[in-house]
Homo-oligomer: A and B are copies of this chain.
Amino acid sequence: MLGNFTYCNPTKIYFGKGALDGLKAELPKYGKNVLLVYGGGSIKKNGVYEKVTAILRECGKTVAEDAGVMPNPTVDKLHEGIERAKAAKADFILAVGGGSVCDYAKALSVSVNCEEDPWDKYFTRFEEPSCELVPVGCVLTMVGTGSEMNGGSVITNHEQKLKIGHVFGEEVFPKFSVLDPEFTFTLPKYQMVAGFYDIMSHILEQYFSGTDDNTSDYVMEGLLRSLIHSALIAVDDPTNYEARSNIMWTATWALNTFVAKGKDTDWEVHMLGQAVGALTNATHGMTLAAVSMPYYKHILPYGLAKFKRYAVNVWGVSAAGKTDEQVAREGLAAMEAWMRKLGLVMDLTSLGVTEDMLDDLVKSTLYMQGGYKVLTPAEAREIFKESL
């Protein structure tokens, strides 16, 4: 750990079968008016909506709803939510859904009482909130983003063709999150595996950066091995509780700030994927999957030692009698085979991207400084093109 840092993660987690009962301990701590935030209505089909609203009634809450949060929540939806929260005089925001719903709830939390335009303040100037926050709790129904235990919030502005994330400080973290792996069982396979790859990508964005010796890299190798193992079980047997619970907990720790401490991080795959998300509304995890292989093959020569370590420690590649580059490329090949076994989308064409969108994609991409090679727009264009 060569870097200095502070660490604080106050979110309380209720994990396991029946974890929703945690709401009964948490909700009484907050005011009477709850804004219930959710997505397209899948929680009404799988019974989670009914269970949550029953507990809200039991706790004597007055509930207003803000439904229809989309996979890439937009700044327009955020403005709609602000009006709903104000009308309901919301004391608390309860987000029920996946990462998009949690991200949106946090954006709402810092925006309801904000006197400036939240897009400008938080997603352009990246300022911290200066207004009173509306506290947030989460009930997770889909894993991947880690949003349940961090300060991250990604919002899309279609007008500006931008999908931008702000990582807020600990006062914006959810006060609590309910993680019941069984709530994820009914998710369609496409969304399930996209979430798995989102987790994978979160870890790799933090792993493929820096050349120092760092405890976090060892921990990430453990998280990766757990994820790789459990994902193969879950894709064949989606209601395997043990596999789904391991994946759910791995997802949380992949992005709750722990594994980034004291080290550099990259995040360029997310920048490429978010550019696709800004233009297509494709599922986030699939945008990452589609650009990952061309990206990693491109930067491998610049971070050869780490890609070799990845091959050996995570994929069990034997280094005996091979060049470092051979070992490293075998690691990426093993990863690609795993991705195909999961059924991930491996090309942007399947996500609705066409060659005439390349210029806009390059313009919508943010270029990060922490990876083994800082991309030029020309290189990003090449990677997008190879990903078609």
Contact = CB atoms under 8 A, between A and B. Distances in A.
Contact of A249 (B14, B246, B261): B261
Given A6-B22, A222-B221, A242-B2, A215 B15 contact: no
Which of A6, A13, A181 has its CB near the most chain B CB atoms (within 10 A)? A6
Given A15-B7, A261-B15, A262-B15, A2 B213 contact: no
A6 B12 contact: yes
A298 B8 CA distance: 40
A14 B9 CA distance: 13
Please tell me how many copies of the chain the complex holds: 2
A184 to B, nearest CB: 13
Interface stretch (A97-105, A139-147, A223-231): A223-231
Interface residues of A, number: 47
Interface in A175-219: 181, 212-215, 218-219
A156 interface: no
Contacts of A5: 13, 15-16
A245 B14 contact: no
Interface string A233-267: 00000000111011011100100001001100000
A47 interface: no
A10 interface: yes
A1 interface: yes
A245 B212 CA distance: 12
Nearest first, the 9 A-B pairs at minimum CB distance are A4-B16, A222-B222, A218-B222, A218-B226, A8-B12, A1-B245, A7-B13, A219-B222, A215-B226
5 contacts: A1-B15, A2-B245, A5-B13, A213-B230, A218-B223
Given A213-B243, A215-B246, 7 more contacts: A1-B245, A5-B13, A6-B14, A8-B12, A15-B262, A215-B230, A219-B226
